[in-house]
Amino acid sequence: MPTTATPTAAPTAAEAIPTAAEATQPKVDFGEPTTPYAAYGGIDTLHSLLQPRSTEPAETSFIIATQVMELLFGLLRHEWTQAQQALRADDLPTASAALRRGLGVQDVLVSSWDLLATMTPVEFNAFRPFLGEASGFQSYTYLHLEFLLGNKHERLLKLYAGSPRIHAELAETLHAPSLYQDAERLLRARGAEEWTAVYTDPALHDLKLLAELLLDVAERVTRWRQRHLLAVKRAMGAKPGTGGSSGLSWLSKAAEQDVFPEIWAARNAL
Ligand code: HEM
């Protein structure tokens, strides 16, 4: 039966979409020396941190690549610490979510090498003397990540002997179980001795997903190391590093090492 009610006419396209003149514009009059954006993000401070020492234009991308990666190391440390706390609380979904957020950070870290991909030795040599003995090897945030992965070299704490706060933070992570050991503890708590079990026992399916997630992390760590190695090879060849190592040959050893070797080794037995 037809209804007697008159339906409201649908607005025409012209009526539904406001014209540019009607659209509300963002506010532009804050009447302050800075905008809320700059204040919130500390943007003035951020840009003031770019202080090239040489007249070489390529130094700008070197400094920004270093600063961007350092911030991303910090974000990754945050995500891995969250993951670790969740593993200790037997909370696999929260741990997995944090590791997955970390994978996104690692992907950005790997592609950050694009910022330095074209640097020639002549460009690098033009600002290298200004680095003095500075090297990314001295990054305590990176060292923190290495400790979380389980690559613990107590000797490196010496780098921070003059900085009690950083030394204490690193020493705590050095002596605590690593992210890997926390995952391994869950494995043992479920009655398994080896990672091979999670691939064959359907009752350990959730731990198989964790093992695969840990390998996603491991692959990205290796990819970062390999891209670093290529950037070094391209920008300075096999010359010694500013941090005092032999350079390429020393770095290639770390790039060859498996991260979470036990989970890779499980492949040999499956
Ligand atoms: C083309 C530019 C770069 C060159 C030529 C270079 C060179 C080197 C060299 C030779 C080393 C070995 C230690 C040494 O003797 O200094 C090293 C280590 C390291 N660099 Fe770089 N680097 C570059 C860019 C970066 C950037 C942008 C970062 C980001 C923060 C970085 C982070 C690191 C880290 C974390 C290590 C220690 C690696 C480990 O312990 O396995 N590097 N770098």
**What average pLDDT does the segment 228-245 reach?**
97
Evaluate whether residue 158 is within a structural domain.
no
- Ligand 1 centroid–CA 165 distance in Å is 24
Residue-wise pLDDT tens digits, 71-107: 999 999 999 999 999 999 999 999 999 999 999 999 9
Residues 185-209: tens digit of each pLDDT: 999 999 999 999 999 999 999 999 9
Number of domains making up the chain:
1
Which amino acid type is present at position 251? L
Does 213 reside within a domain? yes
Does residue 232 have its Cβ closer than 6 Å to ligand 1? yes
Q: Are the CB atoms for 106 and 51 separated by under 8 Å?
A: no
Q: Does 207 map to a domain? A: yes
Intra-chain end-to-end CA distance of the chain, in Å? 70
Per-residue pLDDT at 2: 39
Residue pair 98/80 in contact (Cβ under 8 Å)? The answer is yes
208, part of any domain:
yes
Tell me how far the alpha carbon of residue 64 lies from the centroid of ligand 1, in angstroms: 14
| Residue 143 belongs to a domain | no
Structure tokens belonging to residue 2? 């037809």
| 258 part of a folded domain | yes
Q: pLDDT tens digit string along 9-32?
A: 666 655 556 666 678 999 999 988
Probe residue for ligand 1, chosen from 62, 223, 228 as the CB with the greatest number of ligand atoms within 8 Å? 228
Does residue 144 lie within any of the structural domains?
no
Residue 261 located in a structural domain: yes
Average pLDDT, stretch 140-164? 96
Domain CATH for 80: 1.20.58.480
- Residue 247 sits in which domain range? 55-136+178-269
Do 103 and 217 touch, CB atoms closer than 8 A?
yes
pLDDT band for position 3 (50/70/90)? very low
pTM more than 0.75: yes
Mean pLDDT of 113-129: 97
